[in-house]
């Protein structure tokens, strides 16, 4: 039974949900401060932001995936304890910050600097698009591919 019940799998998947929630908040609320305006070259701060987020992402992925590799729940908790719970601290610390007023503060700061992202349009309710979940509004069906790494982090010159 190679892929049977292993507590480490569940620890990884459970933590991944919280990581996703924290990452979405950070991308929405922090990234606009570093993103260059349309047509402008990335600043040094944008490149520093990119490097820091790459390092944090790699460290978080390694931390969260360790139980998946170890598989045992007890051994995974021991591993996290030996790592000082750093992943839990920054994941749940950032969620606490965002949900306890940090998001509101950062949105206000974005508005004061004129970099607030546009608000999401509400789907128009028609007889075929009810809130029963049977129909997906057209504006939510459009999928855009993210830009390539070369456009996000251009080579240093």
Predicted pLDDT at 62: 94
Quick check: pTM over 0.75?
A: no
For range 142-156, the mean pLDDT: 63
Whose tokens are 């719970």? That residue is 85
What residues act catalytically? 3
For the chain, give the percent of residues with pLDDT over 70. 71
Predicted pLDDT at 130: 52
- Higher local confidence (pLDDT), 8 or 20: 20
Q: What is the pLDDT of residues 78-99, one digit of tens each?
A: 999 999 999 999 999 999 999 9
For range 36-47, the mean pLDDT: 86
């Amino acid at each position: 039974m190679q892929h049977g019940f292993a507590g480490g799998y569940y620890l990884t998947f459970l933590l991944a949900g919280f990581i996703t929630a924290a990452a979405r908040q950070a991308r929405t609320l922090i990234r606009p401060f570093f993103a260059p305006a349309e047509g402008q070259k990335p600043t040094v701060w944008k490149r520093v932001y990119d490097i820091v987020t790459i390092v944090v992402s790699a460290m978080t992925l390694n931390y969260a995936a360790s139980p998946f590799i170890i598989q045992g729940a007890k051994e995974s908790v021991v591993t996290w304890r030996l790592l000082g719970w750093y992943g839990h601290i920054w994941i749940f610390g950032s969620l606490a910050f965002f949900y306890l007023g940090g998001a509101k503060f950062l949105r206000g700061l974005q508005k004061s600097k004129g970099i607030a992202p546009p608000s999401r349009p509400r789907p128009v309710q028609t007889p075929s698009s009810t809130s029963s979940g049977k129909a997906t509004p057209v504006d939510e069906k459009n999928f855009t591919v993210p830009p390539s790494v070369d456009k996000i982090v251009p080579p240093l010159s």
